Amino acid sequence: MVTEPFHGARVFQSGDDPVFVSFVSTATVGLLVAVDPADLPAGVSIDEPIHIEKAADAALLPAAVREEIDSVYDQTAGSIIVVMIDEGADAAALTANAVGDATALTGIHALKKATALGMPKPKLLAAPGLTTAGVPDGIASVAVTTPGTGYDDTTTVTVSGSTGGQGAVLTPVIGPGGAIDSIIVEKPGYGYSGVLTVTISGPGTGGAATASAGAVLNAVIAEAQGIAEDLRAQFYADGPDGTSEQAVAARALIGSKRVCYSDPRVLKSIDGVPTPKSSSTIFAALQSKMDRERGAHWPGSNVLINGIQGTNRPVLPGSEASNLNENGVNTIINRGDGFRAWGPMTCAVGTIWEFVSVVRVADLVNESIEKAFVQFNDRPQSRLALDQMAMAGRAALKSLEAEGVLLPGSEFGLSSTQSAADGVQGIVKFAMRYEPPAPIYDIRIAAYRNPTVAYELLYDSVSGTIDTGDLL
């Protein structure tokens, strides 16, 4: 209540209105597509998000973009955020343009600009045609040859190749006495060749290291993991489309719950010719379809794929498809009833985050409550405000339980670690406990023969007469 005096009567609408958690949208697809800038229509630029709401919105865009949008709309309707990049003069230039710059928000980083521009936040990301190949010449490892002394947290490490290379990010691990214990390859980069030189800059002296180049994770996939983490999104990447063994080996370089990996490519009719196209766009679109029709707790697996003529190589249902799934590779099968996406996996194989629906439901819950609670920032602490927050969080979880998005037993309330010391600093801690439902993945049915009962029932039914029924 205000304390400033006034001669008369005033009515104030209370600001302590009930709070409801509105759940964030999870179905928007985000595409990164390489094009020739000369083909762009007037008013459209590379590295800038475009909001597509229907196929006609892409009528003037380059063919490569229209084909991917067609793949999405073959599966579902809805919003698509498209970022186009310069296809470059060669593979190295294309990779550099796709990886982009985190500061300038170019390349795949441009997807993060969508919300600030009034567009939906992309949640299902793909970079068709840009993730199939690995990188044969990234920084595979860095070995410390001389630890040196006196280094601290300001120490930086860089690597250069005498005839090329870019994009590697190295982080030193500083031990006792300021010695460099090891150097971690955060991002391998690409194009490193010739003599590799490692440069250590910082307050210490005597440190030295050597670097080795080799086959490493695709640079776009490596960069996309951080983008997906920031957006609470999934990134759909394509396998090498060679053999199942090659797909499994390539997936083994990725361990992120933010990445879903698919192999092989699909065949689509382009100008009347069956043409291999990325399956990542289709897997992202199928998940969007499930989000819109069922909910984020339904993975886009065991779902018929529209608009394709087949796959670039056949994958046998059963052991081959199962082996791919068990190794984190989602695939496409045909059991005689059409081509189906097969596999609800992320690349976090063997962890509690290996199912994509589990990851995405957790994102849905966390982001929705986080967004709703922002309105409480800078209000004075009071029992009413804290109760409203606790009730809003609890109601949101129970609502999701009622829809089957969460399993029963969710809890939400003020954290047991909340203290007076936290309170005087403006820190208010809540805690919640919930569980997304894992998909029905491995169905096991035990079958037993039952001869004793079966034969006893047969023999007990024998009467020695035959009932012929009524003759008339």
Average pLDDT over residues 348-369: 97
Confidence band, pLDDT 50/70/90 cuts, at residue 471: low
Res 13: pLDDT: 73
pLDDT digits (tens, 9 = 90+) for 160-179: 999 888 889 999 999 999 99
Average pLDDT over residues 126-136: 89
Average pLDDT over residues 456-472: 79
The CA-CA-CA angle for residues 135, 138, 142, to 5°, reads 150
Average pLDDT over residues 371-394: 95
Distance CA 79, CA 74 (A): 13
Helix H or strand E segment including 371: helix 356-373
What proportions of the chain, in percent to the nearest 5, are helix, strand and coil? Answer: 30, 25, 45
Residue type for position 61: L
Confidence band, pLDDT 50/70/90 cuts, at residue 356: very high
Question: What CA dihedral angle connects 442, 71, 123 and 402, to 10 degrees?
Answer: -50
For 372, 389, 427, the CA distances from 375, given in Å and listed in that order, are: 6, 10, 15
Average pLDDT over residues 133-146: 88
Helix H or strand E segment including 373: helix 356-373
Joined together, the tokens standing for residue 197 give 């030189």
Res 469: pLDDT: 63
149 pLDDT higher than 90: yes
What φ, ψ does residue 275 adopt, rounded to 5°?
Answer: -125, 130
Distance CA 221, CA 128 (A): 11
- Lowest-pLDDT range of 27-31, 68-72, 182-186, 341-345: 182-186
Res 108: pLDDT: 98
Confidence band, pLDDT 50/70/90 cuts, at residue 89: very high
Confidence band, pLDDT 50/70/90 cuts, at residue 245: very high
Distance CA 133, CA 433 (A): 40
Confidence band, pLDDT 50/70/90 cuts, at residue 472: low
Domain ranges of the chain: 29-132+220-346, 135-216, 381-472
pTM value is 0.86
Residue type for position 257: K
Closest CA to 332 of 268, 282, 287, 284: 282
Closest CA to 237 of 112, 122, 124, 127: 127
Please, are residues 363 and 232 in contact by the beta-carbon 8 Å criterion? yes
Task: Say how many Å lie between the first and final Cα of the chain, rounded.
Answer: 94
pLDDT digits (tens, 9 = 90+) for 201-213: 999 999 999 999 9
The CA-CA-CA angle for residues 209, 214, 217, to 5°, reads 110
Rg (CA), the chain: 28
Joined together, the tokens standing for residue 425 give 């600093």
377 pLDDT higher than 90: yes
DSSP 448: -
CB atoms within 10 A of CB 376: 15
4 pLDDT higher than 90: no
Distance CA 387, CA 405 (A): 25
The CA-CA-CA angle for residues 63, 69, 75, to 5°, reads 140
Res 468: pLDDT: 66
Res 92: pLDDT: 84
Q: Which residues are 464's β-sheet partners?
A: none
Match 């096991």 to its residue by tokens: 444
Match 């992320």 to its residue by tokens: 346
Closest CA to 27 of 258, 331, 398, 300: 300
Distance CA 188, CA 192 (A): 9
Res 137: pLDDT: 85
Helix H or strand E segment including 391: helix 383-402
Distance CA 201, CA 139 (A): 19
Confidence band, pLDDT 50/70/90 cuts, at residue 1: low
Res 265: pLDDT: 97
Distance CA 351, CA 456 (A): 49
pLDDT digits (tens, 9 = 90+) for 6-43: 888 887 777 777 788 999 999 999 999 999 999 999 99
Cα four-point dihedral sign 384, 390, 392, 398: negative
Joined together, the tokens standing for residue 126 give 């793909």
